[in-house]
Amino acid sequence: MLIEPIELLLTKQAIMNNLKQKITIPNILSFYRLLSFPFVLYFAFSKQENIFVVLLVINLITDALDGIIARTFKMETEFGAKLDAYADIGMYISAIIGIILFKSKELAPHYISVSIFVSVFILPKIISVYKFGRFPSLHLYSSKIGGYMQGLFFIVLFVFGFNTLFYYVMIIWGILSFLEQSFVLLISSELKSNMKGVYWIVKTTKDN
Whether residues 57 and 45 share a domain: the answer is yes
The string of DSSP letters for the chain reads --HHHHHHHHHHHHHHHHHHHHS-HHHHHHHHHHHHHHHHHHHHHTT-HHHHHHHHHHHHHHHHHHHHHHHHTT---HHHHHHHHHHHHHHHHHHHHHHHHHSHHHHGGGHHHHHHHHHHHHHHHHHHHHHHSS------HHHHHHHHHHHHHHHHHHHT---HHHHHHHHHHHHHHHHHHHHHHHH-SS--SS---HHHHHHHHHH-
Which pLDDT does position 79 carry in this prediction?
87
pTM of the model: 0.87
pLDDT at 24 over 80: yes
Query: What percent of the chain has pLDDT above 70?
Result: 89
Q: Kindly state whether residue 3 falls inside one of the protein's structural domains.
A: no
Whether residues 81 and 28 share a domain: the answer is yes
* Residue after which a domain boundary falls, among 36, 71, 100: 100
List C-alpha distances in Å: 109 to 26, 114, 162. Answer: 38, 10, 12
* Residue after which a domain boundary falls, among 45, 71, 100: 100
Handedness of CA 45, 88, 31, 133 (dihedral sign): positive
Which pLDDT does position 2 carry in this prediction?
46
List C-alpha distances in Å: 141 to 59, 111, 147. Answer: 20, 27, 10
Which pLDDT does position 16 carry in this prediction?
57
The mean-pLDDT minimum among 17-21, 102-106, 181-185, 197-201 falls in 17-21
* Residue after which a domain boundary falls, among 34, 67, 100: 100
Whether residues 38 and 122 share a domain: the answer is no
Q: How many domains does the chain have?
A: 2
pLDDT at 54 over 90: yes
Report the interhelical angle of 141-159 vs 164-187 (nearest 10°): 150
Domain membership of residue 204 as a residue range: 103-208
